[in-house]
Amino acid sequence: MTTRRDFLKTSAGAGVGAAVGLGSVKPLRGAPAVHRSMVTPVAVASGNGLEAVTTAIRVVNEGGDTLDGVVEGVNIVERDPNDSSVGFGGLPNLDGVVQLDSSLMHGPSRGAGAVACLEGIKTPSRVALDVMRYTDHVLLVGKGAQRFAVSMGHQVEDLLTERSRRRWIEWRARMSDRDDYLTPEESGNRVPPFEDAEDYGTSLLDSHDGVRPLGTINCNIVSRDGDLSGVTTTSGLAWKIPGRVGDSPIVGAGLYVDNDVGACGSTGRGEAVIKTCGSHSVIELMRAGMAPVDACLEALRRVVTFTTEARLRDPEGRPNFNVNYYAVNKNGEYGGAAIWSGARFAVCMDGEARHEDSAYLFERGS
Ligand code: GLY
C-alpha cells in the first residue's frame, strides 16, 4: 500500500508539473498523476500569520473555498490595530497617510484581483476580492480603488491608530535637525511621554535589517483537492513617498498562484521582488521540478544578483535588506526562505499551527 509519505517522495522527485489539470501541457518526466484525495491541506504564511493559517485551514476543512480561507485569515491581521505592517494601524507614508496594497489569486478559476495605494479601507484584501469577482479588471489604484470599494459597501475610516500616528510624528521629528519639528529631547522633554515610549525609540526608525520598518502578510493554501489560492496584503514601506507601490499588489511579484503547480508570496523589500518577478519565478522553478524551499532560495539568489547598488549592499557586497518567500506546491510540500538567517514562517497542517525557521542564503553576523 502506498503511504502518503511514499507518494510525496515519488511525486516530489518526479516534479510538481506532473499534477492534474495540466491539460495539453506535457507532464514532466512521465510522473504519475496526483491523486487529489491524498493531499493534506497545508497553509503557509509570513511569521505574523499564525492565526491566518489556522483560520485558512479551518475554512477549507469546513468545506469553504481556498481563497475565502486565506482572505479570512489575513483579515484578522488587517483589522488588528497592534500590527503596524498591515491594514488598520499600519505605518503611514511621508504625509502621515496610510496607503494599502493587496493582491490575491484563486487557483481553480485562474482569477486575480488587486488594489494599490488604497486609503481608508481596513481590509484591502476584501477590495481585491471584489475587483476579481465584480470587475473585468485585475488592479485598481488610488482614488478609483477607493471609489470602487465604497460602491461595494466598504466603509472609509481613519486607519491611523494613536500608536501609528505617534510613530510617524517621532519619525518626522528625527528626519532632520534643519526643520522646525522637535524631538522630545530638542523640546526639553516638554512632550508628555508616550504610553509605550520605548517602542518609539530611534531603533524603530532603523529596525528592519537596516532599513525602515516594512511588514506585510502573505498566506497561501493547498486544499485536499490540490486547489491553491494565495493573498498578500500590506501597508508597505513606512514613511514611503506617497504613491509608492511595492510588490504586494503586483501579480507575479508579491504573489503568484498557478493551480497546476503551487502558490507563492513574499515579504520584505518590494522593489527587489518586483525587479526579479519574485513569486512568479518561484512558481516556474517549482514547475521545473524544484521543491518549494529550493525554488525560494534560487529566486533569492536572483535578488542578490540584481542588487548592484552600493547603497543596498553591505561591505561584503550582500544585500543590506531582507526578502522572504513562502511557497506551497500542489502536493502539499511547503517551504520558506529568506536572504538572511533568523526569519520564521507560519504553517498549519493536520490541525496544528506552528512557526518554522526559514532557510536562508547568509548567516547574520557572518
Ligand atoms: N513587501 C512589501 C512592500 O515592499 O511594500
**pLDDT digits 0-9 by tens, 105-141:** 999 999 999 999 999 999 999 999 999 999 999 999 9
Reported pTM: 0.86
What pLDDT score was predicted for residue 118? 98
If one residue of 93, 101, 211, 231 were mutated to test the ligand 1 pocket, choosing by the most ligand atoms within 8 A of its CB, it would be 101
Question: The cell 518526466 sits on which residue?
Answer: 29
Cα 121 to Cα 126: distance, rounded to the nearest angstrom: 9
What pLDDT score was predicted for residue 215? 72
CA of 269 to the centre of ligand 1 (A): 5
What pLDDT score was predicted for residue 174? 86
Query: Residue 354 phi/psi, 5° resolution?
Result: -155, 165
66 catalytic per annotation: no
- The answer to whether 328 and 228 are in contact (CB under 8 A) is yes
Q: Is there an atom of ligand 1 within 6 Å of 248 CB?
A: yes
pLDDT level of residue 56 (50, 70, 90 thresholds): very high
Judged against a pLDDT cut of 70, whether residue 330 lies above it is answered with yes
What pLDDT score was predicted for residue 183? 81
What is the rounded average pLDDT of the residues 173-199? 72
Mean per-residue pLDDT of the chain: 86
CA of 326 to the centre of ligand 1 (A): 14
What pLDDT score was predicted for residue 90? 85
What pLDDT score was predicted for residue 208? 35
CA of 57 to the centre of ligand 1 (A): 25
pLDDT level of residue 165 (50, 70, 90 thresholds): very high
If one residue of 273, 275, 322 were mutated to test the ligand 1 pocket, choosing by the most ligand atoms within 8 A of its CB, it would be 273
Return the C-alpha cell found at 220.
497561501
Return the C-alpha cell found at 91.
505605518
- The answer to whether 214 and 236 are in contact (CB under 8 A) is yes
What is the rounded average pLDDT of the residues 69-89? 90
> Of 55, 66, 216, 276, which is the active-site residue?
216
- The answer to whether 159 and 87 are in contact (CB under 8 A) is yes
Q: Is there an atom of ligand 1 within 6 Å of 93 CB?
A: no
Task: Identify the DSSP state of 251.
Answer: B
What is the rounded average pLDDT of the residues 256-283? 98
pLDDT level of residue 209 (50, 70, 90 thresholds): very low
What pLDDT score was predicted for residue 212? 59
